[in-house]
Amino acid sequence: SQKIEQNSEALNIQEGKTATLTCNYTNYSPAYLQWYRQDPGRGPVFLLLIRENEKEKRKERLKVTFDTTLKQSLFHITASQPADSATYLCALDEVDSSYKLIFGSGTRLLVRP
């Protein structure tokens, strides 16, 4: 069955450093992959989408890579700030016409001042 894995342990880093989060998947060939941010008590908010034929996508301090051979996506936040502290969710499409997404369990990022 399709499976998406994100590191369940929180990532704790110093302000100014680069945070790197990992998303691995198995039994799956998605057309695209998305990253969402979720703050406590709030709904997820879309950050970035990368397609299967794209290696890398950037948006301001965010960078996402997508390696379909390794079945892995890396999500980077450069020059991290305490305000970046949140849970980050990886999601992949089910490759049908209904735009359904399968979500990972998320990785919590803590940025220390």
Distance CA 112, CA 6 (A): 21
Give whole-number Cα distances, 88 to 1, 64, 98, in Å.
23, 12, 23
Give which of 22, 14, 33 is closest to 80, Cα–Cα. Answer: 14
To the nearest 10°, report the CA torsion of 47, 50, 56, 61. -10
The residues with which 83 forms a beta bridge, in sequence order, are: none
Rule CB under 8 A: choose which of 17, 51, 59, 112 binds other proteins: 51
Shortest Cβ distance from residue 35 to other proteins (Å)? 11
Which CB, 17 or 55, lies closer to other proteins? Answer: 55
Shortest Cβ distance from residue 104 to other proteins (Å)? 5
Task: Say whether residue 45 binds other proteins (CB under 8 A).
Answer: yes
Task: Say whether residue 55 binds other proteins (CB under 8 A).
Answer: no
Give the footprint of other proteins on this chain (CB under 8 A).
Answer: 4, 8, 31-32, 34, 36, 41-46, 49, 51, 89, 91, 93, 97-106
